[in-house]
Amino acid sequence: MHNIIEEMNLKFLDSAYSNKGRKPVVESKTMLKILVFAYINRKYSARDIEDACKYDLRFRWLLDNGKSPDHVIINRFRNKIYPFMDEILHQLVNLLVEQGEMDLKSIYIDGTKIGANANRYTFVWKKSILKYQEKLIQKILEYFRINENLSSEDCKKLVLLL
């Protein structure tokens, strides 16, 4: 994850910061690494991420043992990068495909629940899976506020990231 984000062109993130005032506590690339790594580890709260930056060695390594951001800085950064999420997502998917970390051939959706006592109501219908797939794609598009002009193939490619 560290190497992939280092390869990304994130100059547009620097435009979110003002030239006036003081230098940011943590660089924008490093903050993005922290956020992505926190989300991978199911840490969504800014205060949880702040604690992880202070006490977790993996986060300290990402920070290069520099000063750790507090929860206010983390939330401000999240708000500043929100308009750039589409671009970040596209670059991330492209880099993962180029490096062979993922392919764009399959979509995996599995919400299967297996009950202890099988009966005629416990299996999954193909029709319901296809319906769920379409709803999932729409949810992702709404979440990232992606253009409605994308083809269904592009949508399926974006779904693979999540």
Using one digit for the tens of pLDDT, what is the confidence trace for 95-126? 888 888 877 676 666 666 655 566 666 666 77
Which has more confidence, 118 or 129? 129
Please identify which residue in the block is written with the tokens 């598009």: 141
Whether the CA torsion 45, 15, 157, 102 is positive or negative: it is negative
In whole angstroms, what is the distance from residue 2 CA to residue 74 CA? 18
pLDDT of 161: 54
| Size (the chain), residues | 162
Asked if the model's pLDDT at residue 152 lies above 70, the reply is no
Residue 67 lies in a domain: yes
Q: Token digits for 14?
A: 């620097």
Asked if the model's pLDDT at residue 79 lies above 60, the reply is yes
Is the CB of residue 8 less than 8 Å from the CB of residue 91? yes
The pTM assigned to this predicted structure is 0.63
Same domain, 80 and 9: yes
Residue 98 lies in a domain: no
Question: Confidence class of residue 38 from pLDDT cuts 50, 70 and 90?
Answer: very high
Query: According to the per-residue pLDDT averaged within each range, which of 61-75, 129-143, 146-160 is highest?
Result: 61-75
Mean pLDDT score across all residues of the chain: 79
Residue 95 lies in a domain: no
Same domain, 126 and 75: no
Task: With both helix axes pointing from N to C terminus, report the angle between 85-98 and 152-161 in degrees, rounded to the nearest 10.
Answer: 80
In whole angstroms, what is the distance from residue 133 CA to residue 81 CA? 28
For residue 145, which phi and psi values (nearest 5 degrees)? 50, 50
Number of domains in the chain: 2
Segments forming the whole domain that contains residue 66? 2-84
pLDDT tens per residue, range 45-66: 999 999 999 999 999 999 998 8
